[in-house]
Chains A and B, each alone.
Chain A
Amino acid sequence: MPFITATAATQETYDVIVVGSGAGGGQTAYTLTMDGARVLMLEAGRHYDPVSETPMFQTPDMAPLRGIGTSDKPFGFYDATVDGGWQVPGEPYVQTSKEDSGRFDWWRARMLGGRTNHWGRISLRNGPYDFKPYSRDGLGFDWPISYEEMAPYYDKVELLVGVYGSNSGLENTPDSSPGCLLPPPKPKVSDLLVAARAAKLGIPVVPGHRAVLTQQLDWKNSQAKLHPGNPAAQKIIADDMQRRAACFWATPCGRGCSIRANYQSTTVHLPPALATGKLDIVTDAMVHEVTLGKDGRATGVGFIDRITRQQRHVTARVVVLAASACESVRILLNSKSTRFPHGLANSSGKVGKYIMDTVGSSLDGQVPLLESMPPHNEDAASGHQMYVPWWLYKDAAKLGFARGYHIEFGGGKGMPGLGTAAELEWLTGGSYGAKFKQDARRYYGSFVGFDGRGEMIPNEHSYCEIDPEVKDKWGIPVLRFHWKWSEHETRQAAHMQKTFGEIIEAMGGRVQGRVETDGAKAIAPGGSIIHEVGGAIMGADAKTSVTNSSCQTWDVDNLYLTDGAPFASNADKNPTLTIMANAWRASDRILERMRRKEL
């Protein structure tokens, strides 16, 4: 009975309650149950089964509006996300600014597996510098842990979920231990052209890292590395790895994967965790508070059963919040008591502070060398065969901004979509008729797009708090967001634009639109990139941080956070892999303390 009702859950006893089922919650539940802990997972959204629900080969003409994104399905009709987006009906939030420069748009996915179902699967490790940014340039905060402490967990996560890539040996771009990475996919023509021409500018282009199985996982060797001394866990994961198929080089990963060839919590973390028999999951469970006992320890959580609309309470020895950075913050701030009048675990006043997203900016180019290519299959791994890691560490002093960015790019003849032959006037002079059809054939696949993904430094002006008036449809007070970029971010966005223009030019291409030199206009609004982290940062000092290095809150001994909330910085590397590694690490600490009877 792994999926149980809210009522049933109130009658059971658990070691650990995990709130959230995405990258953080999935990894936490996996690690804990594989080591024998009895876990209750609460998910605010509905049950979701990627094996039976994923539209794999459906084409745009089978979808409403050719599958284009709408307010109901922002990333397109076939995107895996259901009941999610920057707006969720009945669950508002407040923005103190509607201006692009001061807004934070909050993405949520109310479904089992959360946003891991649709994410880009880009899996980059934070490097040694990324854990100690303050020590390097005096900005932001250091993590209370080092890369060396996280590295074994990166290895484990890569082995478990399956990540393709290669060891490039580049600065602050860590290599994985031997045997951790799957072979990268073959590059496309556009990838190779970017690589050849960027190299002339001194810009390195190396194989990307994504959580996609380019071949079956090495279950024979991985099982013992993942779970040393635990034969039961080894058998479960070996069996499950054999049930995951390798990528068949078709269909976009963002739809999810019914053959389980890429990582999503629902295809990788939850099946083996459920196979232990130690995991119960209640979906449609909208958690709004962590309850506190007289002894100052968390006793459990209160939630609303969305099916019956009834208030429920469940108990456990340990509570782990992994509801997404801002949702975990919301739960803490809404958990008020005489002991914690400003929200649970908030004696530092830092809960809700230092929300970060990723600096994003993009530019497209049209490249004559790629016109009228001989037809061949370019679906590849559905993107990110190659990428550009940040390469200007030595130039930090003269760039005018701190930190850096990586470049994601792509081109080729993908599945024709609504935009494939749109906006060609600047190339065709406005052709229509027979000439337009020839132009469409000529230009299809000749575009290359560049997306910068850069580090945002946490600041005092980007934070969230509980709005004093607005409540959601469940009666739960909602978040109010404040947002501001610093010049480090806007200058970085301008630098991205300049670099993209130079690469496009080096390819003999033409920039579509123009290179935006004003960084404030070039930068995507806060929340757009959906790399929300921070809000309950970890640190070495209880007065200035919310959790310690183990993701344990300073104030409440048995309360942990394993999503992006404890991130003390947001490196240019996409956060999901680090969320998982960190969650595994925190879960190991929980298990140790449970064995020592501290919990």
Chain B
Amino acid sequence: MDRRTTLKWIVAAAASAPSLGRFALAGQQPPPRPAARIARGYGTDPKLLDPNKPGALWPLTFTKRQRLAATALSDLIIPADDVSPSASAVGVVDFLDEWISAPYERQEGDRKLVLDGFKWLDRESVRRFSRPFAALAVAQQTAICDDICNAATAKPRFAQAAKFFARYRDLTAGGFYTTPQGRKDLQYVGNMPLSSFDGPPPEALRKAGLA
């Protein structure tokens, strides 16, 4: 699967106007592709105004051990800093569990990738440091993830693990930046009614060399 195909299915149109293409609002939103089959999900006419709660629509998956691995890895990818909390602190692990448990084709693919990835991570942790991933020190976790964090340069024996890590990072980041804390971190300031749209401020135009 090449980059564009991957991009098309990992990122979807959470908020796009169809024939506006992907860029109506959210920067990077590829057009959805026709699905090969119809899944048993929330159906074609779900209640749009009711807030979702992971686990309400389909049963969740993570065992205690998987949850520990998920938490450790998510927080290694998005730790707390001066600006915003860590991924797990804002419910990203619940989102990941919801995601890999969903009855749709894309998510079913991710389910295998992620659960196999956790297994590999624990095996590799035990091999190198004699303990499961979640029980390792951050420096030890980093030693493993440095080997798999870039699919383009990872050694062949880490290729599958790197594929897992790339997807897991995308999902963690997507889960995180869609929370109120994540939006604040990115300084997104929209989604509020305005009496007029005034366009960019002068400092933004200057930054782009337009003023």
Q: In the complex the two chains form, is A250's CB within 8 Å of B177's CB?
A: no
Given A66-B174, A119-B18, also A419-B11 (CB < 8 A): yes
User: Are B19 and A120 neighbours in the complex by a CB distance under 8 Å?
Assistant: yes
Q: How far is the CB of A306 from chain B (nearest CB, A)?
A: 13
Per-residue CB contact flags for chain A residues 556-586 toward chain B (1 = under 8 Å, else 0) read 0000000000000000001000000000000
Map CB proximity to A onto B180-203 as digits: 1 under 8 Å, 0 otherwise.
101101111111111111111101
* Nearest Cβ on chain A to B163's Cβ, whole angstroms: 11
**Taking the complex as formed, is A1 at the interface, i.e. its CB lies under 8 A from any CB of chain B?**
no
Q: Bound state CA distance, A437 and B90, in angstroms?
A: 15
Which applies to chain B's interface (DSSP): helix, strand, loop or mixed? loop
- The interface stretch among B61-69, B100-108, B117-125 is B100-108
Q: Which residues of A contact B1 (CB under 8 A)?
A: none
CB pair A89 B199 closer than 8 Å: no
* Known contacts A251-B191, A362-B30, A369-B207, A425 near B150 by CB under 8 Å: yes
B32 and A69 contact, CB distance less than 8 A: yes
Surface stretch bound by B, among A129-137, A331-339, A380-388: A380-388
Contacts of A121 in B (CB 8 A): 17, 20
Cβ-based interface call for A122 (8 A): yes
Distance in Å: Cβ of A366 to nearest Cβ of chain B: 10
From B25, B185, B203, name the one whose CB has the most chain A CB atoms within 10 angstroms: B25
Q: Would you call A422 and B173 a contact (CB within 8 A)?
A: yes
Whether B156 is near chain A, meaning CB under 8 Å from some CB there, is no
Contact partners of A505 in chain B: CB under 8 A: none
Q: Does A8 reach chain B (CB closer than 8 Å)?
A: no
Flag A106-118 by CB within 8 Å of B: 1 or 0 each.
0000000000001
List residues of chain B with CB within 8 A of the CB of A449.
Answer: 21-23, 28
Contact, CB under 8 Å: A445 / B27 = yes
Distance A73 CA – B83 CA, assembled complex (angstroms): 34
Q: Which residue of B lies closest to A423 (CB)?
A: B7
Interface size on A, residues (CB 8 A): 121
With A72-B43, A432-B149 known to touch, is A416 a contact of B177 (CB < 8 Å)?
Answer: yes
Q: Chain B nearest CB: distance from A118 CB in Å?
A: 6
Q: How far is the CA of A375 from the CA of B183 in the complex (A)?
A: 12
What are the interface flags for A408-451 relative to B under an 8 Å C-beta threshold, 1 for contact and 0 otherwise? 11111111111111110110011111101100110011011101
A86 cross-chain contacts in B, Cβ below 8 A: 34-35
Provide the residues of chain A in CB contact with B174, threshold 8 Å. Answer: 66, 417-422
A382/B25 in contact, CB under 8 A: yes
A73 and B24 within 8 A (CB): no
In-complex Cβ contact of B35 among A74, A372, A423 (8 A): A74
Interface bits B43-57 vs A (CB < 8 Å: 1, else 0): 111101101100001
Which of A370, A378, A529 has the most chain B CB atoms closer than 10 A to its own CB?
Answer: A378
Interface membership of B166, Cβ < 8 A: yes
Q: Report the Cα distance A375→B203, complex, angstroms.
A: 10
Chain B interface, number of residues (Cβ within 8 angstroms): 105
Q: Inside 8 A of A445's CB, which chain B residues have their CB?
A: 27
Pick the residue among B44, B84, B142, B204 that contacts A437 (CB under 8 A). Answer: B84
Please report the C-alpha to C-alpha distance between residue A53 and residue B24 in the assembled complex, in whole angstroms. Answer: 21
Contact B178 A59 (CB under 8 A): yes
Using CB atoms, name the residue of chain B closest to A90. Answer: B38
Bound Cα distance from A95 to B122, whole angstroms: 46
Question: How far does the Cβ of A364 sit from chain B's closest Cβ, in whole Å?
Answer: 7
Does chain A have a CB within 8 A of B115? no
Contact call B19/A418, Cβ cutoff below 8 A: no
In the complex formed, the residue of B with least CB distance to A449 is B23
With an 8 A cutoff between CB atoms, is B137 at the interface? no
Is A254 engaged at the interface, CB distance under 8 Å to the other chain? Answer: yes
Q: Which residues of B contact A206 (CB under 8 A)?
A: none
Scan residues 71-116 of chain A and give those whose CB is less than 8 A from a CB of chain B: 71-79, 82-89, 105
| 8 A Cβ contacts from A189-220 to B | 189, 192-193, 196
Q: Is the CB of B208 within 8 A of A189?
A: yes
**Are the CB atoms of B31 and A414 closer together than 8 Å?**
no
Q: How far is the CB of A273 from chain B (nearest CB, A)?
A: 25
- The answer to whether A53 and B48 touch across the interface, beta carbons within 8 angstroms, is yes
> Which residues 146-194 of B sit at the A interface, judged by CB distance below 8 A?
149-153, 166, 169-171, 173-180, 182-183, 185-194
Docked complex Cα distance between A253 and B191 (Å): 12
Interface pair A187/B199, CB less than 8 Å apart: yes
Other-chain residue from A62, A376, A425, A447 in contact with B27 (beta carbon distance below 8 A): A447
Q: How far is the CB of A44 from chain B (nearest CB, A)?
A: 14
Whether, in the assembled complex, B133 has its beta carbon less than 8 Å from a beta carbon of chain A, the answer is no
Q: Contact: A423 with B3, CB < 8 Å? A: yes
The minimal Cβ–Cβ distance linking A511 to chain B, given in whole angstroms, is 11
Residue B71 at the A interface, CB < 8 A?
Answer: no
Whether B35 contacts A421 by the Cβ 8 Å rule is: no
Cross-interface CB contact of A65 among B4, B78, B102, B191, cutoff 8 Å: B102
Which residues 217-267 of A sit at the B interface, judged by CB distance below 8 A?
247-255
Of B37, B201, B210, which contacts A374 at CB under 8 A? B201
In the bound complex, what is the Cα–Cα distance between A87 and B38 (angstroms)?
7
Say which residue of B51, B198, B204 sits within 8 Å of A62 (CB atoms).
B51
Asked whether, in the complex, the Cβ of A374 is within 8 Å of the Cβ of B14, the reply is no
How many Å lie between the Cα of A431 and that of B41 in the bound state?
A: 34
Chain A residues whose CB sits within 8 angstroms of the CB of B193 once the complex forms: 248-250
Distance in angstroms between the alpha carbons of A351 and B142 in the assembled complex: 64
CB distance from A239 to the nearest CB of B (A): 24
Contacting residues of chain A (449-475) with chain B, CB-CB under 8 angstroms: 449, 451, 453
Which residue of chain A lies nearest to B104 when distances are taken between CB atoms in the complex? A70
Flag if A423 contacts B6 (CB, 8 Å).
yes
Q: How far is the CA of A431 from the CA of B190 in the complex (A)?
A: 28
- 6 smallest CB-CB distances across A and B, nearest first, come from A419-B11, A430-B150, A410-B23, A186-B199, A120-B19, A254-B17
B contacts, CB < 8 Å to A: 2-4, 6-7, 10-35, 37-39, 41-46, 48-49, 51-52, 57, 76-79, 81, 83-84, 95, 98-99, 102, 104-107, 142, 145, 149-153, 166, 169-171, 173-180, 182-183, 185-201, 203-205, 207-210
Residues of A within 8 A of B (CB): 46, 53-55, 57-79, 82-89, 105, 118-122, 185-189, 192-193, 196, 247-255, 360, 362, 364, 369-370, 372-384, 408-423, 425-426, 429-434, 436-437, 440-441, 444-445, 447-449, 451, 453, 512-513, 524-525, 527-531, 574
17 contacts between A and B (CB under 8 A): A59-B183, A64-B98, A70-B35, A75-B13, A105-B34, A248-B195, A249-B193, A249-B194, A379-B190, A408-B19, A408-B20, A412-B27, A418-B174, A419-B30, A425-B166, A436-B77, A445-B27
User: Contacts A59-B191, A122-B20, A379-B197 given; 16 further ones with Cβ under 8 A?
Assistant: A64-B98, A67-B15, A70-B104, A72-B39, A120-B18, A189-B207, A376-B204, A378-B190, A380-B197, A383-B17, A414-B188, A415-B191, A417-B26, A420-B26, A425-B151, A441-B187
